[in-house]
Chains A and B, each alone.
Chain A
Amino acid sequence: DTEVTQTPKHLVMGMTNKKSLKCEQHMGHRAMYWYKQKAKKPPELMFVYSYEKLSINESVPSRFSPECPNSSLLNLHLHALQPEDSALYLCASSLRDSSSYNSPLHFGNGTRLTVT
């Protein structure tokens, strides 16, 4: 069982749709992340939130819009996606995002997104 919960598990959307991915953790972690993973590849970082503030955007297109309503929740709003955006979207959290404190990332099971 993962302690990072993501919904929905699967999502199929058209290129003109607007949808949102949700992530929740109750481990008291103050850093949360969005990753994208293509088949047989390692996860690629998209966004980092530290203490509910966006600290890193890895040059992600604006059709992906993250939101952190509180310390336990992380959303990813999707609009006007392309078929090549189809992938597994993973949420992760860690105790904190600090260069002086090693804290492993805990991943959710992801949302399998298909853009048609």
Chain B
Amino acid sequence: DQQVKQNSPSLSVQEGRISILNCDYTNSMFDYFLWYKKYPAEGPTFLISISSIKDKNEDGRFTVFLNKSAKHLSLHIVPSQPGDSAVYFCAAKASGGSNYKLTFGKGTLLTVNP
């Protein structure tokens, strides 16, 4: 039973355009969400997080939107750069859960073309 779903295995965008990565979840107890970026042969790098008390969090070129009623979150990268090409994992933590109890999605490979 996959509680965090990233339904698009891959996404390709042009440099300078917006990249939108989507994530859906089924567990209504999730209240903290994170996005990680992973380059080949490297560990995941924490990008941005959002608590369920918010619907938007922004950090530079990265913005995460949370729609609790739809159990959906998205990561917007604008403008996209070739260096953003990586696998992006969405992760979620349940209310009252320890910080290591993250449920990860399977990832979306983003390719930004020059």
Contact = CB atoms under 8 A, between A and B. Distances in A.
Interface of A: 2, 4, 6, 31, 33, 40-43, 45, 48, 56, 88, 90-92, 94, 96-99, 101-110, 112
B97 interface: yes
A1 to B, nearest CB: 10
28 contacts: A2-B43, A2-B45, A6-B43, A42-B91, A42-B106, A42-B107, A43-B104, A45-B100, A48-B98, A56-B100, A90-B44, A92-B43, A94-B99, A94-B100, A97-B98, A97-B99, A98-B99, A99-B97, A99-B98, A101-B99, A102-B49, A104-B34, A105-B99, A105-B100, A107-B43, A107-B46, A109-B42, A110-B42
Contacts of B63: none
Interface of B: 32, 34, 36, 41-46, 49, 51, 89, 91, 93, 96-100, 102, 104-107
A42 B43 contact: no
Contacts of B46: 104-107
Given A42-B105, A105-B34, 16 more contacts: A2-B45, A31-B99, A43-B104, A48-B100, A91-B43, A97-B100, A98-B99, A99-B98, A102-B32, A102-B51, A102-B93, A104-B34, A107-B44, A107-B45, A107-B46, A110-B42
